[in-house]
Amino acid sequence: MEALVYKMPFGLTFRKAVLWHGGKQHVFRRLREVPEDPDKFEWNFGSVEKHGVRLDAEFAGSGLSVHRLPYVNTNCSGSFEVVNNSLARAGVRVAQPDGSVELLETTTGAVLEMVGP
């Protein structure tokens, strides 16, 4: 699974998640994000793809492997902080249109990266 939310110029926001599961690609474009706690390094969202597959995802990045790195703006006008954890926890609930549900999870196998406010 890969998911991205990116704020673009003119107030636009790009949102997309792609899940490869059971040999099929599922693309989710309308992500319903759960409001985040600014004191926690977490990201939670849900979505339904066009064929009716429902996705609920939870990522938790707190822990000893969190890194805070300065990135330079592409125009070299300054920098911004990126928080990264390559050993984050993740849980993804996949509900099929037929009602079957599967939970995919890892305790140390997800990467979570976020840019500060």
- Predicted local distance difference test score (pLDDT) of residue 116: 63
Residue 50 has pLDDT above 80, yes or no: yes
pLDDT confidence tier of residue 57, bands split at 50, 70 and 90: very high
Sign of CA dihedral 70, 71, 76, 79: negative
- Predicted local distance difference test score (pLDDT) of residue 117: 52
Contacts 24+ apart (CB under 8 A), 28-36: 28/3, 28/55, 31/3, 31/5, 33/5
Element (H, E) at 13: strand 13-21
Model pTM? 0.84
Report the percent of the chain where pLDDT is more than 70. 98
Residue (of 93, 54, 51, 85) closest to 68 by Cα position: 85
Burial (CB < 10 A; 0-12, 13-18, 19+), residue 95, is: middle
**Domains of the chain by residue range:** 2-115
